[in-house]
Structure formats: structure tokens, C-alpha cells
């Protein structure tokens, strides 16, 4: 008898989802692969072109976006019932702007050189379509925990592509990884350079970032035919 | 007959297997295929894609041979000085020049074809379709438009890039937006600028001689003009300074990319292509017209005195408009690259606009951007992108015109 009553009770109460249920996990893993913001939704391309010439700024950028989108999604989700829908874009902008300024100030204080390298692009996180897109599409309609996972997932999906692109661009364009000369010294002609190898200057230019993203999209869609749209 | 039969048997043996396209390609490249269409109405003509491609290659062969001799001529002239009274057979067409040219130019041709066709075969096998002939012409064009000393591995990387990104991602031959040969050159130009521009890459081993006291650098005419040097002279008085006459530039005894120096042979190739109706005379003619128009505008600016002689653009702006057609590689670009039937405009009116803008923009880039002394490849790539748009508006205009006519009739 007792057992039956418990069952009834749980049915009356909303069945509580575990923190990392299958559905919640999908919120993180989906944007990493089959619903990647860059390769599938084709958002946030501008910064992917601008700062991926080297690995270090790309990783800082990825972490910054993870922070901004994760926290921002939670904040918007908490306020979702009190934001008048007419001015929601302004509210969203204020939230992003506040978070971006925090990131910018932290970078200026603790990593001045990097922040100079990233220059305007940290500020331009505000205009990153992925962030406003997730606020609009997800945080306004879901609870804070789910929104948090969604934010982290999408930002990580963005970051993964950034890092892959930056890896190839830095390795082939400058012959370095994180600034270490992994292929030898181009001036003293050591390592690969002794055999006549030369850095590919095209990789450092923005068009090659676009082409690299294109190649990633190509590989991804040829492995998973379901992603090909007409 | 033996080989044909063997290939045919191999083809039958590998039918419906993965490697089938590869055997089929060899078979049909060497021989006329046995299978012909039997049913329905088909136009049976000899000029299939392969024949078209081969015609273009034949028109390029004079340029290639000239390029081989010129490579040797430039090299030995840079070492020994230019001959005082030039005689064609003594100083140009001789064994030394041929030997040096052959060992420097032929590897470029071989690498271009081997790498390009390998990529084509791999894609054909993966996709399971027939090998396309598109690379036959590209493979010939590529060695003609690169500097002589370009390292072979760079060429190979660029060819892979050009064929994959310039062509295969769009669906292969006939579907490409950009001219693959120019995509390869653009890749080389932006990836390895030190090997593709400047004054020391155009003559064999000029880089190594750069330090020696009486080295002749082997600068191109355009490079010299962009620095306001008197590199184009009236008479062939060879003093200390290296200078060329316009007739030398026309015949092609000047440094430059391998196959683009001789305007005479390019015109011969153009005549052959127009005669066989493979290249569009509209594009060639309007290309030259566009270049001349831009040249005239610049000449007009100089005549009006709007530009000072100390200006860095003066050298190229004051070059007479007809000389603009002869110096640089605009002739090669307009005749062999712009006329690519796939990436160019398709409509007749569109071809006029397309060709004119190529010439126009080429000279514009040439004069105003000293970093790109030759802008013709950029101009053609740009117009490749716009060619479908031009066609669209030409077709729309025609539709509109005919609709009007229809309305008049019904009204």
C-alpha cells in the first residue's frame, strides 16, 4: 500500500529531472557537434575570422564567450518573466554589455598584452550573433539551469571551432603553436625550414579562416549526411 | 590496337568496381570510346570536351616552347650581359638556352599535371563518377603563369588547393565559380609572396646572384615602371641600366612568368582559338578595349597635368595606352584565362561587359597598387565572381524587352 501511495504522490508532483539527465546533457553536447553554432547555424563568423590567426587569443576568446554566454543566459533566464517583451533586446544588450566589460577589464588587468592583441574584438562579443541568438531562442523560454547548460554548450561549440581553426592557421601560417616554434626557426633555417619549407602567408590572412571553416563544414557534412540541407 | 583492347578488357573487368572511372578515363583519353549513343536524337559532333581541351593545349604549346628558350636566354644574359646585336638563332634559339629552360620549366609542367590529375582521379574514385577532363588545360596553364624558380613543393600544395577548393568543392569541372589555374596562382601569390613578386624571382637563380657586384636583377617592366624607372626605352641602347624596348616586350625577350612574355605567340594562340571557335572573340576584343580605355583615361590625366611627375603613379600612368596592352601579362590573361567558358559570362552581351571590365580593372590595379604590379589575375578572379550576375541581368533585360513586345502586339 505504501508503495502505491508514493507512486501517486510522485505523479502529482512534477517529476524532478536529475541535474544531468539525458536531455540536459544533450544541451551541452548538441552544440558541440550536430548543432554547432558556427558550422551548422553559421553564426559568429566575424570573430572566427578575426582572431584565429593564433591559438592564444582564440582560447582567450573562447573562454570569454563561455563566461559571457553562460552567465548571461542564467541572468536572462532568471529575468525572463519580468522583461517586457517590447524592450527585451535592450535588456539583453545591457546584460551582455555588463558582462563583456567585466571580461575586458579582467583581461586588461591580468593579461594586458593579450587584451591589446584582441583589441576591439572582446568589445565586439556584444555583437556576436550567437549570444543574442541564445538569449532569444533559449534563455527567454527556459529555466536557469537549462539555460546555463545551453549557454556553456553553445559557447564551447563556438570555442572548439575557433581552436581548431586557430591550430591550423598558426601551425601552417606562422610555424608555431602558442608561440613555440614547433617547426623550427625560419630565420636560422632549423627543423623543417632546413629542407626549404616556408610558412604559408595565406593562412594568416582572413580569407583562409573562412576557407578553413568551410573545410570543417565540408568534412562534418560528408560524415553525417543528415546535416546536408537542400 | 593492343593497348586499346587491353584497356577495354580492363575496363570491362573493373566495371562497377571502385576503380572503374580511372580505367575509363585512360581509355577514352587515348582512344575514341567504343560506346556511342543509339537511341533518341543526339547531336553527334567531334568536338567533345576532350577535343576542346586539347585544342587549347595546342594553342598554348608555342608559349611553352618560347618560355623554355626565354628561361635560358634570361639566365645567360643576366650572367654574361645582353648580346649587343641580337640575332634570333645565335642568341635565343640555341642548345644552351633550351637545355637550361628544359630542366627548369619541364619539372613545373610535370608536377602540375601529376599532382592535379592525382587529385582528379582520387575525387572521381571517391565520388564514383567519371574522371573529368577539366584539369588538362589547367595543368598546362599553371606552369606558364608562375615564376621560373618557384619551389616544386609549393606548386604542388597550390595545385592541390586550387583543384580541391577552386573546383571539386563546387562539384567538379563545369561547376566551378573561379578559374582553377588562377586560383592556384592567387594561392601562391598570397601564401608565398617572396617567391611570387619582387625583382629577383623572374630569372633563374637571380636570388642567389643578388649580392654579386654586377648582377642584373631581372626586374619585370611593370616592376620597374611602378618605381618610376626608365625601363622602357625607344632604342635598344644597352647601357649600365637594364632597359627594354617595346618591341622586345612584344616579341617576349623580357623577364616574366614562364609563358606569358611573348605577346606575338599569345596572339597566334588567340587566332587559333578564335578560328576553332573555342575562345570567345568578344571577350578577347572587349578585354583589350577595356584595358585601352583605362590606359587612355590615365594618359588623359597625365596630359591634363593633374598629376605631378614626382608622384609614385606617374611612371605607369604616363605609359601610352597601347603599351599597357603589351607590357605585363594582360594579353595572356585575356586570351587564355578570361575566355574560360565555365567561369566566364555565357551570354553574348554579358561577354562584352565581362571582358571590358577585366581589362579596365586590370589596368586600374596595375597603376594604383604597386604591391600587385600585375593585377590581371585579380581582375579576372573578381569578374569570375560577377559573371553569373552579369548574365542574370542580361537575361532579365532580354525578358523585359520581349515582354514589352508581346504587350504591344496584344494591345
> Helices H, strands E: what count in chain B?
18, 2
User: Is 60 exceeded by the pLDDT of residue B35?
Assistant: yes
Q: Is A202 close to B191, i.e. CB distance below 8 A?
A: yes
Q: Closest Cα partner for B317 from B270, B368, B273, B354? A: B368
pLDDT at B220 over 90: no
CA distances from A116 to A24, A57, A97, A123 (A): 37, 10, 19, 12
Distance in Å, alpha carbon of B185 to nearest chain A alpha carbon: 12
Cβ contact B348:B282 at 8 Å: yes
Where is average pLDDT lowest: A92-96, B178-182, B310-314?
B310-314
Interface test mutation site (partner A, options B162, B190, B207, B208, max chain A beta carbons within 10 A): B190
Within 8 A by CB and 6+ apart from A44, the residues are: A37, A38, A128, A129, A130, A158
Q: Look at residues B190, B193, B174 and name the one whose alpha carbon lies nearest to residue B182.
A: B190
DSSP SS3 for B389: helix
C-alpha cell at A229: 540541407
Separation in Å, CA of A226 to nearest CA in chain B: 18
Say if CB B148 and CB B207 are below 8 A apart.
Answer: no
Q: Show which of residues 179-238 on chain B sit within 8 Å of chain A, judged by CB atoms.
A: 187, 190-195
Of A192-196, B146-150, B236-240, B336-340, least confident by mean pLDDT is B236-240
pLDDT value at B238 more than 60: no
Q: Model ipTM?
A: 0.80
Tens-digit pLDDT profile for residues B243-259:
788 888 888 888 888 88
pTM (2 d.p.): 0.84
A1 pLDDT above the threshold of 50: no
Closest-CA distance of chain B to residue A56, Å: 22
A196 shares contact with chain B (CB less than 8 Å) = yes
Question: Taking CB atoms and an 8 Å limit, are A201 and B192 in contact across chains?
Answer: yes
Partners of residue A200 in chain B, C-beta under 8 Å:
157, 191-192
User: Could you tell me how many CB contacts below 8 A there are between chain A and chain B?
Assistant: 26
CB contact burial A180-193 (16+ within 10 A = b; e otherwise): ebebeebeeeeebb
Residue of chain B nearest A198, judged by CA positions? B192
| CB of A178 less than 8 A from some CB of B | no
Residue in B167, B188, B191, B382 to test binding to A, most A beta-carbons within 10 Å = B191
Own/partner pairs, A85-89, CB within 8 angstroms, 24+ separation: A88/A140, A89/A132
Query: Closest partner residue to A201 among B151, B165, B190, by Cβ?
Result: B190
Residue with cell 594561392: B187
Interface touch B190/A202, C-beta < 8 Å: yes
Q: Do B169 and A214 touch (CB under 8 A)?
A: yes
Average pLDDT of chain A?
83
Phi, psi of B245 (to 5 degrees): -95, 165
Spatial distance between the Cα atoms of B366 and B379, rounded to a whole number of angstroms: 10
Nearest to A194 by CA among A183, A205, A204, A202: A183
Q: Which residues of A touch B195 (CB under 8 A)?
A: 198
Written as nine digits, the cell of A67 is: 563566461
pLDDT for B102-147, tens place per residue?
899 999 999 999 999 999 888 888 887 777 777 888 999 999 999 8
List the beta strands (DSSP E) in B193-282. 232-233, 244-245
* Residue A219 contacts B, CB cutoff 8 Å: no
Residue B218 scores a pLDDT above 80: no
Which residues of chain B are within 8 Å of residue A201 when distances are taken between CB atoms?
190-193
Q: Is B48 left (phi over 0), alpha (psi -120 to 50) or beta?
A: beta
For every residue of B10-45, DSSP letters joined together read HHHHTTTSTTHHHHHHHHHHHS--S----SS-----
- Backbone φ, ψ for residue B194 (5° rounding): -70, -25
Could you tell me the three cell numbers for B74? 634570361
Grid cell 570555442 in the structure block, residue: A159
Does A141 contact chain B (CB < 8 Å)?
A: no
A198 interfaces chain B, CB cutoff of 8 Å: yes
Q: How far apart are CA A224 and CA A220, in angstroms?
A: 6
Does B190 sit within 8 Å of A205, measured CB to CB? yes
Helix (H, G, I), strand (E, B) or coil at A180: strand
Minimum mean pLDDT range among A14-18, A89-93, A183-187, B104-108: A14-18
Q: CA torsion A113→A114→A120→A121, rounded to 10°?
A: 170
Amino acid at each position: 500500500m505504501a508503495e502505491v501511495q508514493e507512486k501517486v504522490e510522485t505523479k502529482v508532483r512534477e517529476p524532478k529531472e536529475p541535474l544531468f539527465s539525458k536531455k540536459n546533457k544533450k544541451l551541452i553536447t548538441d552544440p558541440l557537434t550536430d548543432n554547432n553554432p558556427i558550422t551548422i547555424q553559421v553564426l559568429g563568423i566575424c570573430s572566427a575570422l578575426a582572431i584565429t590567426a593564433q591559438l592564444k587569443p582564440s582560447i582567450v576568446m573562447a573562454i570569454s564567450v563561455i563566461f559571457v554566454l553562460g552567465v548571461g543566459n542564467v541572468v536572462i533566464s532568471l529575468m525572463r518573466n519580468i522583461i517586457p517583451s517590447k524592450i527585451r533586446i535592450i535588456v539583453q544588450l545591457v546584460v551582455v554589455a555588463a558582462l563583456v566589460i567585466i571580461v575586458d577589464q579582467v583581461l586588461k588587468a591580468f593579461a594586458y598584452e593579450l587584451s591589446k592583441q584582441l583589441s576591439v574584438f572582446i568589445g565586439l562579443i556584444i555583437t556576436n550573433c550567437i549570444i543574442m541568438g541564445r538569449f532569444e531562442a533559449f534563455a527567454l523560454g527556459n529555466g536557469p539551469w537549462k539555460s546555463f547548460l545551453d549557454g556553456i554548450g553553445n559557447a564551447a561549440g563556438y570555442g572548439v571551432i575557433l581552436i581548431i581553426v586557430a591550430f591550423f592557421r598558426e601551425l601552417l601560417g606562422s610555424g608555431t603553436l602558442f608561440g613555440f616554434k614547433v617547426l623550427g626557426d625560419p630565420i636560422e633555417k632549423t627543423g623543417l625550414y632546413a629542407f626549404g619549407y616556408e610558412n604559408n602567408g595565406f593562412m594568416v590572412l582572413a580569407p583562409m579562416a573562412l576557407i578553413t571553416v568551410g573545410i570543417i563544414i565540408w568534412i562534418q557534412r560528408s560524415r553525417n549526411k543528415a546535416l546536408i540541407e537542400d | 590496337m593492343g593497348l586499346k583492347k587491353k584497356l577495354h578488357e580492363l575496363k570491362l573487368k573493373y566495371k562497377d568496381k571502385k576503380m572503374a572511372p580511372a580505367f575509363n578515363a585512360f581509355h577514352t583519353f587515348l582512344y575514341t570510346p567504343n560506346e556511342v549513343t543509339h537511341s533518341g536524337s543526339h547531336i553527334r559532333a567531334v568536338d567533345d570536351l576532350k577535343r576542346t581541351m586539347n585544342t587549347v593545349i595546342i594553342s598554348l604549346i608555342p608559349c611553352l616552347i618560347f618560355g623554355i628558350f626565354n628561361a635560358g636566354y634570361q639566365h645567360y644574359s643576366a650572367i654574361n650581359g645582353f648580346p649587343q646585336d641580337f640575332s634570333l638563332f645565335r642568341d635565343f634559339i640555341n642548345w644552351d638556352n633550351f637545355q637550361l629552360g628544359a630542366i627548369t620549366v619541364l619539372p613545373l609542367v610535370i608536377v602540375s599535371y601529376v599532382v592535379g590529375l592525382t587529385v582528379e582521379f582520387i575525387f572521381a574514385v571517391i565520388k564514383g563518377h567519371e574522371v573529368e577532363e577539366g584539369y588538362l588545360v589547367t595543368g598546362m596553364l599553371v606552369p606558364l603563369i608562375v615564376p621560373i624558380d618557384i619551389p616544386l613543393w609549393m606548386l604542388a600544395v597550390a595545385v592541390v588547393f586550387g583543384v580541391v577548393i577552386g573546383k571539386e568543392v563546387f562539384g567538379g569541372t563545369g561547376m566551378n565559380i573561379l578559374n582553377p589555374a588562377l586560383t592556384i596562382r592567387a594561392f601562391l601569390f598570397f601564401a608565398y609572396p617572396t617567391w611570387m613578386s619582387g625583382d629577383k624571382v623572374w630569372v633563374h637563380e637571380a636570388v642567389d646572384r643578388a649580392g654579386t657586384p654586377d648582377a642584373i636583377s631581372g626586374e619585370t617592366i611593370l616592376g620597374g615602371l611602378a618605381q618610376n624607372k626608365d625601363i622602357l626605352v625607344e632604342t635598344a641602347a644597352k647601357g649600365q641600366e637594364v632597359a627594354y624596348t617595346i618591341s622586345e616586350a612584344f616579341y617576349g625577350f623580357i623577364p616574366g612568368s614562364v609563358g606569358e612574355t611573348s605577346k606575338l605567340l599569345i596572339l597566334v594562340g588567340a587566332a587559333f582559338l578564335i578560328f576553332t571557335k573555342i575562345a570567345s572573340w568578344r571577350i578577347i576584343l572587349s578585354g583589350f578595349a577595356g584595358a585601352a580605355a583605362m590606359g587612355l583615361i590615365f594618359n588623359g590625366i597625365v596630359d591634363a597635368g593633374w598629376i605631378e611627375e614626382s608622384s609614385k603613379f606617374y611612371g605607369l600612368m604616363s605609359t601610352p595606352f597601347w603599351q599597357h596592352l603589351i607590357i605585363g601579362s594582360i594579353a595572356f590573361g585575356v586570351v587564355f584565362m578570361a575566355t574560360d567558358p565555365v567561369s566566364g559570362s555565357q551570354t553574348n552581351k554579358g561577354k562584352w561587359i565581362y571582358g571590358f571590365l577585366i581589362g579596365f580593372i586590370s589596368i586600374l590595379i596595375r597603376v594604383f597598387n604597386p604591391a600587385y604590379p600585375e593585377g590581371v589575375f585579380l581582375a579576372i578572379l573578381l569578374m569570375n565572381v560577377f559573371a553569373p550576375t552579369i548574365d542574370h541581368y542580361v537575361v532579365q533585360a532580354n525578358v523585359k524587352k520581349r515582354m514589352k513586345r508581346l504587350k504591344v502586339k496584344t494591345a
